[in-house]
Amino acid sequence: SQTIHQWPATLVQPVGSPLSLECTVEGTSNPNLYWYRQAAGRGLQLLFYSVGIGQISSEVPQNLSASRPQDRQFILSSKKLLLSDSGFYLCAWSMGQRNSPLHFGNGTRLTVT
Amino acid sequence: AQSVTQLGSHVSVSEGALVLLRCNYSSSVPPYLFWYVQYPNQGLQLLLKYTSAATLVKGINGFEAEFKKSETSFHLTKPSAHMSDAAEYFCAVTKGSSNTGKLIFGQGTTLQVKP
């Protein structure tokens, strides 16, 4: 069966520090991968998605970037964190068809101080 | 373009009572619809999905949802609420007509279950 791992679970970082969140998927090949952010009271916002290695699409302009160095690895990064980057970050995968559900990791709670 | 509206950001029911969480969608193409549940500090878990095979969809934990095209609705129901159902629930629709797998989510409904 497929599993998705996301770490760390919680992170407290000072403003201006770098960020690296990692997500890996097991049990499937060539998945579509996604990074969502969930801010309090604002629902889920799609940040990036990837349909293959090295292929990244950004949904919103922001201080973050994403990379996919391997088929089942998705990384969310920032060179300098802002206070507004605080939130709950969720990685997800799907088979990429219109009727495919997203399968989510357990999320990372990021607090920028 | 697609959109999802969840009516009621907070719903409170008594244990054993009917649960009804409302979702209306807008889609310019035949929609695929999903319900997810999120417990505090966890990711989203798929409850059920509508992919045009049947209009009444049964999911996990006793939940079901009915797709009504004429009403553009996909409401989530459960006959008898349990305390463990207290969580946040999200309705989602597939974005666009291409195979990117992107979903558009509603703002969520927090379900409170009172003893």
Find the mean pLDDT for residues B46-75.
93
Enumerate the β-bridge partners of residue A13.
A112
Percent of chain A with pLDDT over 70: 98
Q: What is the pLDDT of residue B79?
A: 97
Query: pLDDT band at residue B108, thresholds of 50, 70 and 90?
Result: very high
d(Cα B34, Cα B49) in Å, to the nearest integer?
Answer: 4
Alpha helices in B1-115 (DSSP H): none
How sure is the predictor about B4, in pLDDT bands with cuts at 50, 70 and 90? very high
Chain A contact present for B46, CB below 8 A: yes
Nearest to B107 among A43, A101, A109 (CB): A43
CA distances from B5 to A29, A69, B31, B97, B103 (A): 33, 36, 14, 20, 13
The model's confidence at residue A111, banded by pLDDT at 50, 70 and 90, is very high
Residue to substitute from B88, B102, B107, interface A, most A β-carbons within 10 A: B102
Q: Which helix or strand (DSSP H or E) is residue B12 part of?
A: strand B10-14
In degrees, rounded to 5, the angle at the alpha carbon of residue B31 between the alpha carbons of residues B29 and B37 is 150
Which residues from B are below 8 Å from A104, CB to CB?
36, 43-45
Of B51, B103, B108, the CB nearest to A102: B103
Q: Cβ–Cβ of A43/B108 closer than 8 Å?
A: yes
Under 8 Å CB-to-CB from A72, ≥6 apart: which residues?
A: A24, A25, A26, A28, A29, A31
Query: Among residues of chain B, what percentage have pLDDT more than 90?
Result: 77
- Which positions in chain A touch B43 (Cβ < 8 Å)? 6, 90, 92, 104-107
E strands, chain A, are 3-7, 10-13, 19-26, 32-38, 44-52, 55-58, 65-70, 73-78, 87-94, 103-104, 108-112
pLDDT value at B54 more than 80 = yes
User: How confident is the model at residue A65, as a pLDDT?
Assistant: 96
- pLDDT on residue B96: 76
Pick from B44, B52, B98: CB nearest A104: B44
Q: Is B44's CB within 8 Å of A100's CB?
A: no
3-state secondary structure of A84: helix
pLDDT score at A52:
94
SS3 of A106, please? coil
CA distance A36 to B4: 17
Give per-residue pLDDT as tens, A18-69: 999 999 999 999 999 999 999 876 689 999 999 999 999 998 878 899 999 9
Q: Taking 90 as the threshold, does the pLDDT of residue A77 lie above it?
A: yes
Q: Which residue has the higher pLDDT, A58 or B28?
A: A58
* pLDDT tens column, A88-106: 999 999 998 888 899 999 9
